[in-house]
Amino acid sequence: MGPETPILEVEGLTVRYGRRTAVDGLGFSIEREEIFGLLGPNGAGKTSTLSVIEGLQRPAAGTVVIDGDDARNAPLAVKSKLGVQLQATSFQDELTIEQLARLYAGLYGLRLTRDEIDARLSEVGLAEERAKPFKRLSGGQQQRFSLFVAVVHRPLLLLLDEPTAGLDPQSRRQLWRRLEGLRGDGGSILLTTHSMEEAQAVCDRIAIIDHGILLVIGAPAEIVARYRDDPRVLKYAHGEPTLEDVFIGLTGSDIRE
């Protein structure tokens, strides 16, 4: 599909667990080279939305179109276009980083030379760790390796569920820079985050959802400007309203679950 088609189009997406509706008619689309943030309180339906896009879960209703292909009709063609950051704990932890790198490149049908593997490990700052078993990496290094796996096949759309949770400020900044780089190469990114700072620093547009429903979508600065005089937002603002004030104003101040 051409660069005019959105890389992702989600329409009327509904996800149910038994009688509970986790995602309720959600719709949004992501353009080429866009970094898009999905925000919402705990239990809002962010991970459920990602799991349908990843093909791990069947929606009760709605469609997911990736690069012009309906995800239901062309699951294999679609999957090769996606990169998904796996939970770090799911790697065989006795294998070295270099062995794992080969293994996962191989699963995508890539035959990478040693230099190519090194270059890609360098992208995530792990070239020096290539001979170490996975289990001897630090938490942040393990997370970086899971990003390596997610992008090893140069996906058109990268899906990241809270990619910077648990990272120190240095690693967080590094990841933000990497995401900018991946976007520059023609890829698009869908990430979830609870950090307003992150949403403002890296996301071109965000959607705020709650109870599986879309509340607002747009560029972070545009959303703040739109709601700066809203009484729900002013109630929580100390001075000039921030994105967090808008978030709390629209989703309420009650703690979830």
Ligand X SMILES: Nc1ncnc2c1ncn2[C@@H]1O[C@H](COP(=O)(O)OP(=O)(O)OP(=O)(O)O)[C@@H](O)[C@H]1O
**What is the chain's percent helix, strand, coil content, to nearest 5?**
40, 25, 35
Site string for Mg ion, 28-67 (x = CB under 5 A): ------------------xx--------------------
Residue 58 beta carbon to Mg ion: minimum distance, rounded to whole angstroms = 18
Q: φ, ψ for residue 219 (rounded to 5)?
A: -70, 140
- Whichever of 126 and 158 has its CB closer to ligand X, that residue is 158
- Whichever of 104 and 247 has its CB closer to ligand X, that residue is 247
Instruction: Give the one residue of 6, 40, 187, 220 binding ligand X; rule: CB under 6 A.
Output: 40
What the block records as the tokens of 163 is: 């990619």
For position 43 contacting ligand X by CB under 6 A, the verdict is: yes
* 188 DSSP β-pair partners: 157
For position 163 contacting ligand X by CB under 6 A, the verdict is: no
For position 17 contacting ligand X by CB under 6 A, the verdict is: yes
Q: Which residues are CB-neighbours of 188 under 8 A, at least 6 positions away?
A: 7, 8, 30, 31, 32, 33, 34, 35, 36, 156, 157, 158
- Whichever of 46 and 183 has its CB closer to Mg ion, that residue is 46
Residue 196 beta carbon to ligand X: minimum distance, rounded to whole angstroms = 14
The residue with tokens 């967080």 is 172
Given Mg ion, ligand X, none, residue 45, with its beta carbon under 5 to 8 Å by kind, binds ligand X
Instruction: Give the one residue of 1, 11, 31, 47 binding ligand X; rule: CB under 6 A.
Output: 47
The interface region with ligand X, picked from 42-50, 92-100, 108-116, 120-128 by CB under 6 A, is 42-50
Q: Where are the beta strands (DSSP E) in the chain?
A: 8-17, 20-30, 35-39, 61-66, 69-70, 82-84, 157-161, 188-192, 205-210, 213-218
Q: What Rg do the C-alpha atoms of the chain give, in angstroms?
A: 19
Instruction: Give the one residue of 32, 46, 81, 120 binding ligand X; rule: CB under 6 A.
Output: 46
Q: φ, ψ for residue 24 (rounded to 5)?
A: -130, 80
Given Mg ion, ligand X, none, residue 238, with its beta carbon under 5 to 8 Å by kind, binds none
For position 29 contacting ligand X by CB under 6 A, the verdict is: no
| Residue 109 CA from chain centroid, whole number | 24
Site string for ligand X, 108-137 (x = CB under 6 A): ------------------------------
According to DSSP, the β-strands at 35-39 and 188-192 are parallel
What the block records as the tokens of 150 is: 């997610």
Binding site for ligand X (CB under 6 A): 17, 20, 22, 40, 42-48
Binding site for Mg ion (CB under 5 A): 46-47
